[in-house]
Chain A
Amino acid sequence: MRFSSMLTILLAGLLWPVPSLRSPQPAGQAPSAVIPNEVRNPSVPNAKNEKDAPARSVPRFTVNVHRKRNDDFCFLTTCPAGAEPRLTFPTQIAQKPCGTITVAAAADLTDVMNEIVANFQKSTGCTVRVSTGSSGNFLSQIENGAPFDVFFSADIEYPRKLEAEGLAALGSTYLYAVGKIVLWVRNDSHVDISKGLEALRDPSIQKIAIANPQHAPYGRAAQQALQNARVYDALKNRLVLGENISQAAQFAESGNAEAGIVALSLALSPELKEKGRFWRIPENLYAPIEQGVVLVRASQNQQGAQKFLDYIKTPETAALLERYGFALPAKGKP
């Protein structure tokens, strides 16, 4: 009896929240994969795109047409026959102009990529799905057959490695930006960061968040900067390592680490901008964080991927990258 009641609670816990979680978004994952960038970027100018309006509205209405009227939650065994199309319609949407392009992007690109993708979708009618995470993770995923079409790495060595391994289209690696790092503290910190990395010696700073130098390019740059500023040995016991640069930023943003060395692009992001202040680490203290993008060879949508890659090379995108805190590589300028 004891266990039957426990089982009841467990089952209730499993079943109950599901319909209420689903109901605001009954059409499954597709809308969030297609539309969020438009929603999140109201700043994007709309005026010149009126002629594109029909193309844009296609996915939205397709979603509604395919939506089941009675969209109840069901277990695999209890699904009515009609419930299945719901699982397949994202690919139906994907058949429009140039299909769906799946992009793997380094975590420092999160914000700028939203805007790039929104612009790209508007001007081409393509659908882009973006996964953000650590470049090293994406590298090993792609090496093991992950279905990405384009890979934006925070370290250009990874695309080059993929090319060398025959896993990326030869000659497609393109240096799209150079990352910068900053020292970041929360607004409530008393530390005077204008003193630079020396300021980290302050005893009130018990933990310093950086990305993992073992596989994250921003972590490597942070480590180099600390070493070149001759504070690394004194501070190395205070370092906590984020799995990628976003996690390092989150450690600092949540106050669990009193300071962090993060990407400038993240320090400028809305999540961090209001909450803290930063100091640009001089670029002579670390090797440039060259960021490369590459076309994955196993891509099922070579055409779309190439289109997106071409779009990255436009001056429009370059300007956007610059605004979000990336430096432009000399040869990347048109």
Chain B
Amino acid sequence: MNWQAIALSLKLAVYVAGILLVAGLPLAYWVTYSRWRWKFLVEAVVALPLVLPPTVLGYYILVGLGPRTFSGRLWQSWFGHTLPFTFGGLLVASVIYSLPFAVQPFAAGFETVDRGLIEASWTLGASRLRTFFRVILPLSAAGTITGTVLSFAHTIGEFGVVLMVGGNIPGVTRTVSIDIYDQAQAGNYDAANRTALVLLLFSFVVLSVIYGTNRRAMSLWRKR
């Protein structure tokens, strides 16, 4: 069993979920409440990763941000290296690739919040920020939790982008899905089996626990 790969995947997924929680909430807030007429363009961009195959994103990172293009050289001069074959590269790719899995449930959660309550909070003198944290966020907790869990789970399960830009470096870019692929290719079905089973059980347990608590949280809010 390759614990290193499992730990790496967990680390990546935690980072991605964390980043998307911080960056996704303001984006979802804007998507929900903005009245800008071209907003649908932003919505389309956010939803793009749902439609595009991972190979497209992998290709752009590998070639578009490769050292032969202007954008790639710019990136290199800022960060000292190009994106492929680094943990940072996987992180960037995964954040982009999981964006809709976080933002859409967030926005759907915000949508369920009664507009009257928000306006009441404003008229009582609460700032927009305070309203967001004291009214909107608690009332849409289910959407926030779902979005975070989905982005976490989606990153654990990511394969295509990692295969294209990871370079399979142990401890840096060899995630658990790549490890299973390698084992299966090398004919080590036993090892592939064990890792796959661990991953399956782990994913099921995490999702069950979180959806379970999620439901309790929801009914809790309803009672109040």
Contact = CB atoms under 8 A, between A and B. Distances in A.
Main secondary structure of the interface of B (DSSP, over half): helix
B62 A256 contact: yes
Contacts, number: 82
Interface string B169-188: 10000000000011011110
B168 interface: yes
A157 B169 CA distance: 26
A254 interface: yes
Interface in B78-114: 81-82, 84-85, 107-108, 111
Contact of A13 (B51, B62, B107, B186): B51
Given A5-B40, A10-B50, A251 B167 contact: yes
B40 A6 contact: yes
Interface in B126-146: none
B186 A240 contact: no
Given A241-B168, A254-B66, A214 B51 contact: no
A215 B32 CA distance: 49
A296 B179 CA distance: 28
B65 to A, nearest CB: 9
Interface in B1-59: 31-32, 40, 43-44, 47-48, 50-51
Contact of A255 (B67, B81, B107, B108): B67
B120 interface: no
B198 interface: no
Contacts of B182: 212, 214-215
A254 B40 contact: no
Interface of A: 2-3, 5-6, 8-10, 13-14, 134, 136-137, 139-140, 161, 206-207, 209, 212, 214-215, 239-243, 250-251, 254-257
A10 B63 CA distance: 26
Interface centre among B51, B68, B85, B169 (most CB of A within 10 A): B85
A2 B32 contact: yes
B207 interface: no
B67 A2 contact: no
Given A134-B185, A136-B185, A240-B167, 13 more contacts: A2-B111, A136-B187, A139-B185, A139-B187, A140-B184, A161-B187, A212-B185, A214-B182, A215-B182, A251-B84, A254-B63, A254-B68, A256-B62
A6 B167 contact: no
B163 interface: yes
B31 A2 contact: yes
Q: Which 7 A-B pairs have the closest CB atoms?
A: A240-B167, A241-B168, A136-B185, A215-B186, A9-B44, A255-B67, A215-B185
Q: How large is the interface on B (under 10, 10 to 19, 20 to 34, 35 or more residues)?
A: 20 to 34
Nearest to A240: B167
Contacts of B107: 2
Nearest to A206: B81
Contact of B168 (A2, A240, A256, A257): A240
Contact of B40 (A9, A14, A209): A9
Contact of B82 (A2, A8, A9, A256): A256
Contacts of A161: 187
Contact of A256 (B47, B67, B111): B67
Interface centre among B31, B51, B68 (most CB of A within 10 A): B68
Contacts of A10: 44, 47, 50-51
A240 B90 CA distance: 14
B89 to A, nearest CB: 10
Contacts of B31: 2
A214 B170 CA distance: 12
Contacts of A214: 182, 185-186
A136 B184 CA distance: 9
